Amino acid sequence: MTDLPYRDPSLSTAERVDDLMSRLSVEDKAGQLTQYFYMASFGELPVDFDFEALPPEAQSFAKQPLMVKDAIAAGKAGSALFVKDAATANILQRKAVEESPHGIPLIFGYDVIHGFRTIFPVPIAQAASWDPEAVEAGQRIAAREARAVGIHWAFAPMVDIARDPRWGRIIEGAGEDPCLGSAIAAAQVRGFQGGVKGNAIGDESILAGPKHFAGYGAAVGGRDYDDADISDSELRNVYLPPFKAAVDAGAANLMSAYMDLNGVPASANRWLLNDVLRDEWGFTGWVVSDANAIRSLETQHHAKDLTDAGARGLHAGNDMEMCMFDPAFNRLPDAVAAGLVSEEELDASVRRVLTAKVELGLFEHPYADEDAVAAVLDAAEHRDAARASAEKTLVLLRNEGAALPLDADALGSIAVIGELADSPRDTLGPWVFDHDTDEAVSILAGIKERAGDGVTVEHVPGVKVEPRHFPSMFDRMDPTTPQTPEGHDDDAELARAIELAERSDVAVVVIGQRQNQIGENASAGTLELPGRQLEQLQALVATGTPVVALVMSGRPLDLRWANEHVPAILQVWYPGTRGGEAVASALFGDVSPAGRLPITWPRHVGQVPMYHNHYRTFQPEAQGQRYWDEESTPLYPFGHGLSYAAFSYADLRTPGTVAVGETATVSVAVTNDSSVDAEDVVQLYVHQRHGTSTRPIRELKGFRRVHVPAGETVTVEFELGPDQLRYWSAVTREWVQDATVLDVWAGGSSVAELATTLEITG
């Protein structure tokens, strides 16, 4: 086979792909567009296993790995996912290279969401850093570890805008804002791909696959998998910009969504996947469906049968079907024969997939180096980077009376209370599959290490964090998911927690949700703390011992009582492998928290969806009184976050006037009025007073995370030009920039008060 032109690296990619295409049957081509789950990564049964002894509903899952191997050997699979170790990857790759008719290597994809072996903070937390460079650096490490075991491509970043915290997958994205979301999306693509655009990445990088295109974050009621109904204006101005930023950053792949978007399944929406993505944006990579999404076109009553589903999925613009069993794309030869889709369309998709495989160098280097894996996965510098990343994500929500930082020299004892405090698995967060729970540093462990021998640190789990009512597939895949021990007595544990707090100098209470209470298939109908955590918090405050609340969650929770009665509240998210150390460093003042909220934090679930960039309405002065029984303002605004330092803003300057199409430089002076060196996140917002369409009351248009030494002033500059000020108008059905007057604000959150104006002339 070595004398075949498509195996000759001296030829161009196009020449190699042309030669290979000429040798493939329609059936071979359909195989290249099929990606199978390989569930044996979570436990494979031997070939001689008695499958008939299993219940009928379990037999197909048990046999699935053997079915996938047969499909690979027959050339009926072009890709596999959930392969997470080099040995397994090489076994499957040998079947493809040495046994299949044309020896075309597989491309392996995986959910590398916030780390592979080294786990970084969850994505919503990384967005809270407002530091794209740090996010990019973290994904470079994730890519290096994943590539070492033979993974070529990440099903990430998730760049869905999410305005409803009930939606579980809010944890995977960058929050509610298209400006911040676009910056984080582009940073992750650069990180995964090593800054390279397209498929020709280095051997320590992986291809990025932004998802879910598009509108998944607007699922009705925050219910995962439900449909989304989004106006053209919202789609263009809010939900699509992060995808456009990811494409502009060079993303080689993109994943289509599986919910209905405005009455058409996104995975069958040719306008979305072809007209917008390819024709308008110039995307040249390949599109993969989300899990079973092409098959589901029949389930959604969009396609007549699976043959019709395969034809519709391909015609819409999907180049590869992700599937567990019996792919609809297996029917593409029948669909071509029946005239439901043309062979030219089929060929276009196959070319995109083969081009990626050639440019990745898979024909020359199909196998992972099993001997080199350990050195990469065990790299100490990766763990150090994870800690540094976590330190950047922590958001100080409240700090009355300078309750934080704690002074270890003045403390004799610390009570650490809460199941989540001593749960390494929950510290890592969801969407991790090759983690090492034993090396994860819990919050309790981090506090003990940092407090030192002179401080007594004791822990009581307290009341249980009530588990979710409906376990998901991900729970079954993860045997490390913690469970409350049998015989746990909430009343007794609450009494123990109170007793410990009463005899301690300070009580650090970790509240929140377990990692499996958020994520895919983990939407929530309430934002209340699970179980009796609020009751416990109230009892601990009643002891009179100073209380610090650490919130471990990936969504806003109902903190109304805590915000009134707990002096210090620190949002720690799910901080990753070295998260406990990072949290301790903030508690004791080794670092000053500088994370800022990438989401608006509502007071109550009845307020959602709530977001900062809403429209002005005809009664703006009554914005806070939209409900008669509750304030209609957030508990914490978008961009909020406190510091151990004190920052002030002054001298906000614009040129006064610029013309449409020109760029204005806006500057603001940031002063650290404290004795603490710290970082601040300076944010720029605008409001357009009049124009072709109405515009939101405030829109984020720029941000900078800057270090400001104690007592010093730093001047921060932003640009406001067409890229920042144009918008898509439902009036003109196109992008416009108006001659208008802009209100301009700069400061530390979306309610910044320092303001000026900028006139845009026609």
Tell me: pLDDT of 48 over 70.
no
- Mean pLDDT along residues 379-384: 98
Tell me: pLDDT of 44 over 60.
no
Cis geometry, peptide bond prior to residue 114 (ω within 30 degrees of 0):
no
**Which of the four pLDDT bands, split at 50, 70 and 90, describes residue 532?**
very high
For residue 625, what pLDDT is reported? 79
For residue 470, what pLDDT is reported? 67
- Per-residue burial over 34-51, b = 16 or more CB atoms within 10 Å of its CB, e = otherwise: bbbbbbbbeebbeeeeee
Strand 699-708 relative to strand 678-688, pairing: antiparallel
**Among the listed residues 350, 352, 345, 357, the one whose alpha carbon sits nearest the alpha carbon of residue 284:** 352
For residue 39, what pLDDT is reported? 79
**Cα–Cα dist 9/12, whole Å:** 7
Q: Which two tokens stand for residue 130?
A: 């407002």
User: Please, are residues 697 and 739 in contact by the beta-carbon 8 Å criterion?
Assistant: no
Residue 324 phi/psi, 5-degree rounding, is -95, -45
**Which of the four pLDDT bands, split at 50, 70 and 90, describes residue 451?**
very high
**Cα–Cα dist 494/540, whole Å:** 9
Tell me: pLDDT of 487 over 70.
yes
Cis geometry, peptide bond prior to residue 405 (ω within 30 degrees of 0):
yes
Q: What is the 3-state secondary structure (H, E, C) of 606-660?
A: HHCCCCCCCECCCCHHHHHHCCCCCCCCCCECCCCCECCCCEEEEEEECCCEEEC
Q: Which two tokens stand for residue 187?
A: 């940073």
For residue 268, what pLDDT is reported? 98
Angle at CA of residue 412, ends 409 and 413, nearest 5°: 125
Q: Tell me the one-letter amino acid at 85.
A: D
pLDDT by residue (tens digit) across 283-307? Answer: 999 999 999 999 999 999 999 999 9
Rounded to two decimals, what is the model's pTM?
0.96
- Averaged pLDDT of the chain: 95
Q: Please, which residues have CB within 8 angstroms of residue 742's CB and are 6 or more apart in sequence?
A: 686, 687, 688, 689, 720, 725, 757, 758, 759, 760
- Mean pLDDT along residues 569-577: 98
**Which of the four pLDDT bands, split at 50, 70 and 90, describes residue 466?**
confident
Tell me: pLDDT of 205 over 80.
yes
Angle at CA of residue 318, ends 71 and 302, nearest 5°: 100
- Mean pLDDT along residues 696-702: 97
**Cα–Cα dist 198/204, whole Å:** 15
Tell me: pLDDT of 45 over 60.
no
Angle between helices 380-393 and 132-148 (to 10 degrees): 150
* Percent above pLDDT 70 for the chain: 96
Q: What is the 3-state secondary structure (H, E, C) of 538-570?
A: HHHHHCCCCEEEEEECCCCCCCHHHHHHCCEEE
Q: Higher-confidence residue: 143 or 473?
A: 143
For residue 467, what pLDDT is reported? 81
Tell me: pLDDT of 43 over 60.
no
Least confident of 43-47, 94-98, 373-377, 531-535: 43-47
pLDDT by residue (tens digit) across 225-272? Answer: 999 999 999 999 999 999 999 999 999 999 999 999 999 999 999 999
Catalytic residues: 290
- Domains of the chain: which residue ranges? 389-600, 647-761
Q: Does domain 389-600 have CATH number 3.40.50.1700?
A: yes
Cis geometry, peptide bond prior to residue 609 (ω within 30 degrees of 0):
yes
User: Please, are residues 377 and 420 in contact by the beta-carbon 8 Å criterion?
Assistant: no
Tell me: pLDDT of 139 over 60.
yes
Torsion over CA: 422, 423, 428, 433 (sign) = positive
Q: List the CATH code of the domain at 647-761.
A: 2.60.40.10
For residue 578, what pLDDT is reported? 98
Q: Tell me the one-letter amino acid at 550.
A: L
**Cα–Cα dist 166/498, whole Å:** 32
**Among the listed residues 432, 417, 404, the one whose alpha carbon sits nearest the alpha carbon of residue 532:** 417
- Mean pLDDT along residues 112-124: 98
